[in-house]
Amino acid sequence: MSFIFVCYQVAKNEIIWQWVKKDLACHIDTKKEYICRMNNTQLINEYFQVIDSNDPFLLNGDSFEVLSKLPDSSVDCIITSPPYWGHRLYSGGGIGLEKTYTEYIQNLLRITYELYRVLKPTGSFWLNIGDTYRSKKLQGIPWRVAIGLMDEQNWILRNSVIWNKHKGGLDSSKDKLRNMHENIFHFVKDEKSYFYDTTKIRSDARKSIIKNGSVISATGVSGIRYKRQIELSTSLSHEEKQNAFNSLNGVLERIKIGEISDFRMIIRGQQRATHSDSEKVSGRAKELYQKGFYFLFYHPDGTLPGDVWEIIPEDTQKRTEHYAVYPEDLCKIPILATCPKNGIVLDPFSGSGTTSLVAFKHNRKSIGIDISAEYIEFSKERINEYKYENSGALQLFDQE
């Protein structure tokens, strides 16, 4: 039998949800006897048990209070963009309206403490946060928050991503550059055991080819130049040259059989070590000193995205109301790479519901929390609109 989540508000910031038979959903306002009044903790626990639906679970309420109802180590991935300090009055009030940035950071860390509790040891936390000027002084809020998370709550920072938005807001300043980027931080609880699936986010790999009997890598490397450099090298001993020739031939054979698609060879006296020339600092430099050469291999499945993301902000011109700009592309890499199949994504500041919408499109369950009932309603409209447009054969982006 098919069920859906429905809800109605019984008090300020209190939402009653219940699984209801789909054929009763249209009568929900007149048949409230079908709704069993259950507290949020019971309802959230029920949602975790559902295995046949990826419908988002959207809750209207204060993030800290709602998060306190979630079980320990219960979500796989957290993606959120909290209201920025002092930027605008968000619908429903809440965080971001503090008098000082220190109060803002303290309130935000109070919520991230709960996020640490509910995130699984294998989970990831992606935080997008913008900065603010006061009296011509950039406050440095993103890094103040990030350092607080690391120093006070033991979060482990794995990446600091720059979101290049390509366009900024209107700026009439004559004494500073335009602000074109925001920070996205990737945190984990355990640096050794967090889930990370690179196969879903790599770019398509170019293939090696055979030309005139010679093996040529995806970027045109045939090995001829390296062989010439080895032959003419005055920095390699005779034995090192023989080892270099043999190793290079072995690499070309691996390309021929498709084991790797591309490589670079670093030869003593010809190329510099890729990280540092000091054997005490760089393992590569040590290898170059001891052997006379080493290889850099490109992954056969393509390259990983870098830590600068070129994403144009969402177009707001066609909207009747203003909602914070949060493009779908910003959520795709975090969800595909760090939320396993059948995992749960959490957004404690869900706003217009972008995180939940992208999670739904990629076959993940999600929980969205927002203090604004208006945002919750708009989120449900977005998700229902997507379902309606793709009814019959939902175009879920099955990346599995």
pLDDT given for residue 137 in this prediction: 93
CATH of the domain at 83: 3.40.50.150
Are 218 and 262 a contacting pair, CB within 8 Å? yes
Q: Answer whether residue 337 is part of any domain.
A: yes
Q: Answer whether residue 396 is part of any domain.
A: no
259: DSSP letter? S
pLDDT at 20 over 50: no
Query: Is 261 in the same domain as 216?
Result: yes
Query: Is 145 in the same domain as 229?
Result: no
Query: Is 23 in the same domain as 108?
Result: no
Residue 29: CB atoms within 10 Å: 8
Domain around 80 = 54-200+308-389
Per-residue model confidence as pLDDT tens digits over 250-263: 998 887 787 877 88
Query: Is 131 in the same domain as 24?
Result: no
Q: Answer whether residue 369 is part of any domain.
A: yes
Q: What percent of the chain has pLDDT over 70?
A: 75
Query: Is 293 in the same domain as 325?
Result: no
Q: Which of 225-234, 320-329, 340-349, 356-365 has the lowest mean pLDDT?
A: 320-329
Q: Answer whether residue 178 is part of any domain.
A: yes
Q: Which of 64-68, 103-107, 273-277, 390-394 has the lowest mean pLDDT?
A: 273-277
pLDDT given for residue 31 in this prediction: 32
Query: Is 274 in the same domain as 327?
Result: no
Over residues 4-19, the mean pLDDT reads 42
Q: Answer whether residue 317 is part of any domain.
A: yes
Q: Answer whether residue 48 is part of any domain.
A: no
Q: Which of 53-62, 263-272, 335-344 has the lowest mean pLDDT?
A: 263-272
Query: Is 136 in the same domain as 61?
Result: yes
pLDDT given for residue 212 in this prediction: 58
pLDDT at 366 over 60: yes
| CA 160 to chain CA centroid, nearest Å | 11
Domain boundary (248, 269, 298) is at: 298
pLDDT tier, 329 (very low <50, low <70, confident <90, very high otherwise): very high
pLDDT tier, 38 (very low <50, low <70, confident <90, very high otherwise): very low
pLDDT given for residue 23 in this prediction: 43
User: Which residue did the predictor score with more confidence, 220 or 55?
Assistant: 55
Domain boundary (298, 327, 360) is at: 298
Q: How far apart are CA 182 and CA 196, in angstroms?
A: 23
Query: Is 90 in the same domain as 195?
Result: yes
Query: Is 59 in the same domain as 191?
Result: yes
Q: Answer whether residue 221 is part of any domain.
A: yes
Nearest of 241, 118, 239, 256 to residue 189 by alpha carbon: 118
Contacts of residue 116, defined as CB under 8 A and 6 or more positions apart, other chains included, come to 125, 153, 154, 155, 189
Over residues 57-65, the mean pLDDT reads 92
Q: Which amino acid is at 338?
A: T
Query: Is 58 in the same domain as 34?
Result: no
Residue 378: CB atoms within 10 Å: 19
Instruction: Provide the number of structural domains found in the chain.
Output: 3
Q: How far apart are CA 64 and CA 93, in angstroms?
A: 14
Domain boundary (298, 321, 345) is at: 298
pLDDT at 187 over 80: yes
End-to-end CA distance of the chain: 27
Structure tokens of 295? 């290889």
pLDDT given for residue 90 in this prediction: 59
Q: Answer whether residue 17 is part of any domain.
A: yes
Q: How far apart are CA 56 and CA 77, in angstroms?
A: 14
Give this prediction's pTM: 0.74
Per-residue model confidence as pLDDT tens digits over 116-128: 999 999 999 999 9
